[in-house]
Amino acid sequence: MGDERVKAAPDPMQTTFGKFPLRRIISLLALLTCLGGGQLHGQASKPRVNNERPEKGKQSKRIHPHALKLILQGKNKEAISYLGSTASKGVNPGHTKMLLELAEGKPGAWKFDAKSWPWERTLPSTSLKKDAPVDKFTIAFGGGAGYVPANERVWDRIGEIDPRALLLLGDNVYIDDPESPEMQRFHYFRRQSQPEWRKLAAKVPIYAIWDDHDFTTNDGWGGPAVDKPAWKREVWRIFKENYDNPYYGGGEEQPGCWFDFEIGKVRFIMIDGRYYRESPKEGGDPSMLGPAQMRWLKSVLSKKPATFTVICSNVPLAPKVKPGSKDTWDGYSRERSRIYEYIASQKIPGVIVLSADRHRSDAYRTDTEIKGMYPVYEFSSSRLTNQHVHPLIKSSLFGYNEKQSFGRVDFDLEADDPSVTYTIVSIDGKEIHSLKVKRSELELN
């Protein structure tokens, strides 16, 4: 026999597609995964700052911020001219004067800190009403509170029901400028010096979490890193200056805006849906909460039994309330399901949801299709002062968007079957819709 050589089987990695070996294609795909897919959910959104010439629309809340932005950019003459041209647009003349003095370089002008703020302001105090009744009590909640002078009277309407607490669930002010600490402080200070706010904050405990417009910019997310982007921690610190929540996430080592507190036998769980949120733009299983907050959430849900447990979210958990968008929990549906699955597996009764973000007030009843899980009732409200409005959703139990409004929630723990009642209240103090849910409806099979 001749010299017969056994031919080795062809290396499948050398198989070519056109001019390119399979090995090279796989390497390129891996590289793309590292550059794109690996960071797909892992990087923060780019801030889209919105402080640009709002005077043509109903955006009075942005007139002073636009002038301040010009000042920060060193365009003082342009700022002075702009403030003069917009003085009749329904903005606070005192704030206009303050910014003019800043642009003109007047000695003693405001220097972006509380010590030089020219008016008194009232900060929230969660120490108020500690001795108030806890068997029957009322809270108010809402979001969407851009600074609109004509609508600041909503704080008076909330004060008239004398709630045990006010829960602000995000977009509490519209900053949209996470890289400018001066801009952030200005937005807080002008709200806190408003007479209607000061009157309310002096007598009602106010708890707050943030959403996109007071954390970053529209529909933005922070990504999973603690200190990237660099602006995240500073935004957190300034938020802490302005709300005295019981605690803030995991503190300096794990910054965040999540916390819990109790009023009698009702536990409120305030979650942070922005600091560690990952991109929802493509497939996969992105996280809104991040692993540390998810561990915390499960531990709080598992605490000693409460009559009602209220999960308070910056964006709605109910599906399809922002059609076509992944900015709500629809963009994080697998994580949402894991929360419900945990509630069902641990047999945690009495859970309801409060949410914000959509510029209207409405109510939802969601069948999670998780074995043993009871229907999830969700009360949503996020048009405290905003002019802008979102359309009603057909799947809601009811909704209201004709005027600004807030949510009133009454807890009755004295009844044989305790209840929670949600009422939409307009800025004029009119009760629009109401829904009563009994504790017996919120028990696992």
Instruction: Check whether residue 168 and residue 316 sit in a common domain.
Output: yes
Average pLDDT over residues 28-34: 37
Q: Is residue 13 part of a domain?
A: no
What's the structural domain count of the chain? Answer: 2
Instruction: Check whether residue 105 and residue 203 sit in a common domain.
Output: no
Instruction: Check whether residue 109 and residue 232 sit in a common domain.
Output: no
Residue 380 has pLDDT above 50, yes or no: yes
**What confidence tens digit (pLDDT) does each residue in 240-264 have?**
999 999 999 999 999 999 999 999 9
Q: Could you tell me which of 411, 334, 200, 90 has the C-alpha nearest to residue 422?
A: 411
Instruction: Please tell me the predicted confidence (pLDDT) of residue 109.
Output: 85
Residue 9 — very low, low, confident or very high, per pLDDT cuts 50/70/90?
very low
Q: Is residue 412 part of a domain?
A: yes
Count Cβ atoms within 10 A of the Cβ of residue 304 and give its class: 0-12 exposed, 13-18 middle, 19 or more buried: exposed
Residue 30 has pLDDT above 60, yes or no: no
Q: Which residue has the higher pLDDT, 41 or 168?
A: 168
What's the CA gap between 168 and 158, in Å, rounded?
12
Instruction: Please tell me the predicted confidence (pLDDT) of residue 34.
Output: 36
**What confidence tens digit (pLDDT) does each residue in 73-92 have?**
999 999 999 999 988 887 88
**What confidence tens digit (pLDDT) does each residue in 295-339 have?**
999 999 999 989 999 999 999 999 999 999 999 999 999 999 999
Instruction: Check whether residue 151 and residue 224 sit in a common domain.
Output: yes
Range of the domain at 192: 136-442
Residue 4 — very low, low, confident or very high, per pLDDT cuts 50/70/90?
very low
Mean pLDDT rounded to a whole number for the chain: 90
Q: How far is CA 204 from CA 138, 146, 162, 199, in A?
A: 11, 20, 7, 9
Q: What is the DSSP string of 16-44?
A: EETTEEHHHHHHHHHHHIIIIIHHHTTSP
Residue 220 has pLDDT above 50, yes or no: yes
Instruction: Please tell me the predicted confidence (pLDDT) of residue 159.
Output: 98
pTM score: 0.90
Instruction: Please tell me the predicted confidence (pLDDT) of residue 53.
Output: 63
Q: Is residue 111 part of a domain?
A: yes
Percent of the chain with pLDDT over 70: 89
Instruction: Check whether residue 191 and residue 90 sit in a common domain.
Output: no
Give CA torsion, residues 401, 403, 405, 410, to 10 deg: -70
CATH number of the domain to which 289 belongs: 3.60.21.70
Instruction: Please tell me the predicted confidence (pLDDT) of residue 56.
Output: 64
Instruction: Check whether residue 92 and residue 154 sit in a common domain.
Output: no
Instruction: Please tell me the predicted confidence (pLDDT) of residue 283.
Output: 74
Instruction: Please tell me the predicted confidence (pLDDT) of residue 170.
Output: 98
Instruction: Please tell me the predicted confidence (pLDDT) of residue 11.
Output: 41
Q: Is residue 377 part of a domain?
A: yes
Q: At what angle do helices 63-72 and 76-85 cross, to 10 degrees?
A: 170
Q: Is residue 36 part of a domain?
A: no
Count Cβ atoms within 10 A of the Cβ of residue 80 and give its class: 0-12 exposed, 13-18 middle, 19 or more buried: middle
Q: Is residue 346 part of a domain?
A: yes
Q: Is residue 178 part of a domain?
A: yes
Instruction: Check whether residue 90 and residue 186 sit in a common domain.
Output: no
Average pLDDT over residues 261-286: 94
Instruction: Check whether residue 107 and residue 244 sit in a common domain.
Output: no
Instruction: Check whether residue 96 and residue 175 sit in a common domain.
Output: no
Residue 410 has pLDDT above 50, yes or no: yes
Instruction: Check whether residue 111 and residue 142 sit in a common domain.
Output: no
Q: Which residue has the higher pLDDT, 351 or 57?
A: 351
Average pLDDT over residues 354-358: 98
Instruction: Check whether residue 202 and residue 69 sit in a common domain.
Output: no
Q: Which residues contact 362 (CB under 8 A, 6 or more apart)?
A: 321, 380, 381, 392, 393, 396, 397, 398, 399, 400, 424
Residue 31 has pLDDT above 50, yes or no: no
Q: Is residue 30 part of a domain?
A: no
Residue 115 — very low, low, confident or very high, per pLDDT cuts 50/70/90?
confident
Instruction: Check whether residue 101 and residue 176 sit in a common domain.
Output: no
